Structure 1
């Protein structure tokens, strides 16, 4: 038991020393390969880990890594670069001057031609179709004629169908056992019929 109590602290201490020896302070500067100018805001990530840093305005960076880690340098407009921390590195500091090469992107050619005449430009400018903004779309959707068309063509939802069924059942139960009143002598019904006729509600849609 005494041997076991002594061996456990010794093994833990050896493991701690091994871990301490593997921790590296990785620092340096990132510059352009053609003009040796510092590159700010370069992303520096350790491959396989969700951990990294960025260069400052002078292109300087500093991050804690482990021996054998692979570090990736990426920046918009430059080709990505990988750097491997040596496993047999002596000490706990490692510096690097990383050069990035410009990543050339070729865009398709764009040909800009002037208008042949001033009159043609004015004609095309006047006839240009401008898409409706939110206010114009809302105004068209709330137009009375548009609402009538939508009311006739859009299907009813479940709530509307349920209300119509309940209202029809209530009316049928109310006049159960007797003849319901006829709206042919109702002036309000005739007025509504005339309005619907003038609107064209009874026209054949086909």
Structure 2
């Protein structure tokens, strides 16, 4: 009885204190969220850098500075911002945990990164005849039209249709069609196609195409 009374008293205390605890958690969450508005500029000439990617590390979210280098992002205190742009070194900035307020201005200076490409040496052909021979034997890659023409070739499509296995949707449709066909003649013998002229015409066409011969070759009979 004493244990039950203590349990009820604990529930009453938790019920009375829950609004204050919830309010404290909301206030703590609101205090940890800050809005950062800033500008990305070059470190040497203080020139605005557009299209800078500002990502919050380990969270997979971020923003991009506009053509004037201005950006705005919502983060938590203690988050790390990663600034990256083509032609500049990546810069990380960690938001202080003891920052005051919920709005913060930031000017991020970025240093240009010099990329050295390998040396390319251009040598002329020794003679015009050598150039003509190399030009005539040059392997020119297919353009988009030629690639599309090869992909839609009838022989290629027939070969792919023969050896490509059916997917899940086709398998389900094939099973349902067979099941519906078996139920169509339920309670009666199915018709014999030996007297069906259409079935004979299809058989003769398949024989002329060599469908049965190809099947025998595939299975090694």
TM range (shorter): 0.5 to 0.7
CA distance in 2, matches of 1:64, 1:137: 49
2:111 maps to which of 101, 105, 111: 101
Question: Are 1:70 and 2:125 counterparts?
Answer: no
* Cα 1:117–1:93 shift into 2, 3 Å: same
The 5-angstrom pairing of residues 57-206 of structure 1 reads 57-130=67-140, 134=147, 160-161=215-216
Superposition deviation, residue 44 in structure 1: 0.9
CA distance in 1, matches of 2:32, 2:60: 19
Larger Rg: 1
* Cα 1:84–1:8 shift into 2, 3 Å: same
Report the structure, 1 or 2, having the larger helix content.
2
CA distance in 1, matches of 2:132, 2:218: 56
- Structure 1 unaligned residues grouped into runs of 5+: 143-158, 169-206
Q: TM-score, normalised by structure 1?
A: 0.62
SS of structure 2 residue aligned to 1:78: coil
Superposition deviation, residue 39 in structure 1: 1.5
1:18 maps to which of 28, 43, 50: 28
* Cα 1:52–1:110 shift into 2, 3 Å: same
CA distance in 2, matches of 1:130, 1:93: 59
* Cα 1:161–1:110 shift into 2, 3 Å: same
CA distance in 1, matches of 2:34, 2:109: 21
Q: TM-score, normalised by structure 2?
A: 0.58
Give the superposed CA RMSD: 3.4
Aligned position for 1:180: none
* Cα 1:14–1:138 shift into 2, 3 Å: closer
SS of structure 1 residue aligned to 2:133: helix
Superposition deviation, residue 119 in structure 1: 3.3
- Any runs of at least 4 consecutive aligned residues in structure 1 with deviations exceeding 6 A, and if so which? 136-139, 162-165
Deviations 1:61-111 (A, max 9, x none): 101111111111111222111001111111111111111112222111001
Aligned position for 1:181: none
- Structure 2 unaligned residues grouped into runs of 5+: 1-8, 157-213
